[in-house]
């Protein structure tokens, strides 16, 4: 291909649909992005599960087809097949059910086997820390980032990491179809979550620097922002969806194609005050409880369920104000999720200190 082969990997969090915006934006900027993604692990969502919400989109493709789509469109978000990183598929499934999802060595092996197999020239790792991350402890996040950056650079792939905050969801929603709808609204410029914008632009700018498409990350950030703002990233996402079997008018008419949950209701604030803390892991597990994530290997997902319009940290609410909207399959699941959301939110009289969204760069 006539440009650098780049990718990013996130260690996972809540409402992290960055890949859906970042891959097409990078492609518009001249990069080629063969993004081999995963399914949900533990309380965090997986990019492939999100893409399954798009009718007829194929996440399992041959190496040839992945190469073709990447060459023609500039990006392809697909899964690890038997041909691409074959051992990882088995390790991933075993980790999910053996309590080893959080092993730093296995995380490093899993992520880098997929990424190095794709023949990347540049890789940026988004290592999450905070209540909604696997690694809630910032020191552990730094350890993982340093391990992956040194292993990947040692293997000849220019790699850097950003430590980013996951003490609250990144998008204002969590759940597969809901996050795809959110991504399309973001790409079209209809509704843009500010934290999501900042992380997407920061990761993209750093990748363009590593790939030699700009001198400095700041310049790359401006290029990514332009691709997102002028609609070219949205158009490129639409082409990728169509090339992988999805509807040709998906970006224009996403609402027509995404399944809706039958039972939808608000969770209201039990008291007035500021949102002081959010247990991101608990919100992720609430989505799993609704059927939007796996409790055990091989579980079928309900792609329509989840949480939407989640209030962010520092928001002032009055008693009775909505703090989230639950999308559920039935009334019983709705009530369980409402209780879980209420338990995940701490409301108090004083506003808490803000967490820096982008904590530090490594590499």
Range of the domain at 200: 6-254
Residues facing residue 77 across a β-bridge: 35
The two three-digit tokens of residue 114, written as one number: 């997929």
Among 254, 273, 294, where does a domain finish?
254
User: Are 249 and 267 contained in the same domain?
Assistant: no
**Same-domain check for residues 270 and 142:** no
What's the mean pLDDT when you consider all of the chain?
95
Chain segment 151-207, per-residue pLDDT in tens: 999 999 999 999 999 999 999 999 999 999 999 999 999 999 999 999 999 999 999
Statement to judge: residues 157 and 295 lie in one domain:
no
- If asked whether residues 223 and 247 sit together in one domain, one would say yes
User: 357 lies in a domain?
Assistant: no
Structural domain total, the chain: 2
Which CATH number is 286's domain given?
3.90.1170.30
Question: What CATH number does the domain containing 161 carry?
Answer: 3.40.1030.10
Task: Report which secondary-structure segment, H or E, holds 156.
Answer: none
Cα–Cα dist 69/246, whole Å: 13
Spatial separation of the C-alpha atoms in residues 328 and 97, rounded to whole Å: 25
Average pLDDT over residues 257-281: 98
**Residue 261 reports pLDDT greater than 90:** yes
Q: What pLDDT, on a 0 to 100 scale, did the predictor assign at position 54?
A: 99
Helix (H, G, I), strand (E, B) or coil at 280: helix
85 occurs within a structural domain: yes
pLDDT higher than threshold 80 for residue 331: yes
- 217 pLDDT tier (thresholds 50, 70, 90): very high
**What's the rounded mean pLDDT across residues 351-363?**
92
The pLDDT of residue 10 is above 80:
yes
State what percent of residues in the chain have pLDDT above 70. Answer: 100
The 10s digit of each residue's pLDDT in 303-328 is 999 999 999 999 999 999 999 999 99
Residue 127 has a pLDDT of 96
- Of 70-84, 188-202, 256-270, 334-348, the range with the lowest mean pLDDT is 70-84
Compute the 3-state secondary structure of the chain and give helix, strand, coil in percent, each to the nearest 5. 45, 20, 40
* Residue 266 pLDDT class (50, 70, 90 cuts): very high
Q: How far apart are CA 261 and CA 275, in angstroms?
A: 27
**Is pLDDT at 56 greater than 80 in this prediction?**
yes
Of the residues 231, 254, 277, the one at which a domain ends = 254
Task: Clarify whether residues 246 and 289 are in a common domain.
Answer: no
Instruction: State whether 93 and 207 are in the same domain.
Output: yes
Q: Residue 64: which residues within 8 A CB-CB, separation 6 or more?
A: none
Is residue 208 in some structural domain? yes
Q: Are residues 242 and 306 in the same domain?
A: no
User: In the numeric block, which tokens belong to residue 188?
Assistant: 């079209």
pTM over 0.85: yes
- Residues 303/52, Cβ–Cβ less than 8 Å: yes
Asked if residue 99 and residue 149 are part of one domain, the reply reads: yes
Return the SS3 of 296.
coil
Residue 343 within a domain: yes
- Catalytic amino acids? 7-10, 47, 95, 110, 114-115
Are 154 and 14 members of one domain?
Answer: yes
Residue 284, Cβ density class (10 Å: 0-12 exposed, 13-18 middle, ≥19 buried): buried
For residue 257 the two structure tokens come to 């194609």
Q: What is the pLDDT of residue 91?
A: 83
Return the percentage of the chain with pLDDT > 90, whole number.
Answer: 81
What pLDDT is stored for residue 238 in this prediction? Answer: 99
Considering the domain architecture, whether residues 293 and 185 belong to the same structural domain is answered as no
Query: Are residue 239 and residue 275 in the same domain, yes or no?
Result: no
For residue range 93-131, what is the model confidence (pLDDT) as tens digits?
888 788 887 788 888 888 888 788 878 999 999 999 999
Neighbours of 244 (CB within 10 A): 21
Whether residue 34 is contained in a domain is answered as yes
Q: Does 123 lie in the same domain as 250?
A: yes
133 Ramachandran zone, left/alpha/beta (phi>0; psi -120 to 50): beta
Confidence of residue 134 (pLDDT cuts 50, 70, 90): confident
Asked which of 44-53, 175-184, 276-285, 289-298 is least confident by mean pLDDT, the reply is 289-298
Place of tokens 């292993």: 151
358 part of a folded domain: no
User: What per-residue confidence (pLDDT) applies to 27?
Assistant: 99
Where does a domain end: 254, 281, 298?
A: 254
**Tens digit of pLDDT for each residue in 60-74?**
999 899 999 999 999
Please, which residues bridge with residue 336 across strands?
Answer: none
pLDDT, position 210:
98
d(CA 85, CA 243): 23
pLDDT at 298: 81
Query: Does a structural domain hold residue 202?
Result: yes
What confidence score (pLDDT) does residue 92 get? 79
């Amino acid at each position: 291909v006539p440009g650098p082969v780049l990718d990013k990997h996130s260690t996972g969090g809540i409402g992290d649909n960055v890949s859906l915006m970042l891959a097409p934006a990078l492609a518009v900027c001249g990069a080629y992005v063969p993004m081999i993604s995963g399914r949900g692990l533990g309380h965090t969502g997986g990019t492939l599960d999100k893409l399954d919400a798009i009718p007829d989109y194929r996440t399992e493709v041959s190496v040839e087809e992945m190469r073709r789509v990447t060459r023609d469109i500039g990006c392809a978000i697909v899964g690890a097949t038997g041909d691409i990183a074959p051992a990882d598929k088995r390790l991933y499934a075993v980790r999910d059910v053996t309590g080893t999802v959080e092993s730093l060595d296995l995380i490093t092996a899993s992520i880098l086997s997929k990424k190095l197999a794709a023949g990347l020239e540049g890789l940026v790792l988004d290592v999450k820390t905070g209540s909604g991350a696997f690694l809630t402890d910032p020191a552990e996040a730094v350890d993982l980032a340093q391990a992956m950056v040194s292993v990947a650079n040692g293997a000849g792939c220019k790699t850097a990491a950003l430590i980013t905050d996951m003490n609250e969801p990144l998008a204002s929603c969590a759940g597969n179809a809901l996050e795809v709808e959110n991504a399309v609204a973001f790409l079209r410029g209809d509704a843009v979550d500010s934290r999501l914008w900042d992380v997407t632009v920061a990761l993209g700018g750093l990748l363009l620097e590593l790939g030699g498409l700009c001198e400095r990350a700041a310049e790359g950030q401006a290029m990514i922002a332009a691709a997102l703002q002028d609609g070219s990233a949205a158009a490129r996402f639409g082409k990728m969806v169509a090339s992988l079997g999805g509807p040709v008018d998906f970006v224009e008419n996403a609402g027509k194609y995404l399944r809706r949950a039958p039972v939808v209701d608000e969770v209201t604030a039990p008291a007035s005050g500021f949102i002081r803390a959010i247990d991101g892991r608990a919100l992720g597990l609430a989505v799993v409880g609704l059927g939007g994530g796996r409790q055990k290997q091989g579980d079928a997902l309900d792609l329509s369920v989840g949480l939407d319009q989640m209030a962010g940290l520092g928001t002032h609410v009055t008693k009775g104000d909505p703090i989230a909207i639950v999308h559920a399959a039935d009334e019983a699941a709705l009530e369980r999720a409402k209780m879980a959301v209420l338990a995940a939110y701490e409301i108090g009289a004083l506003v808490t200190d803000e967490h820096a969204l982008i904590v530090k760069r490594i590499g």
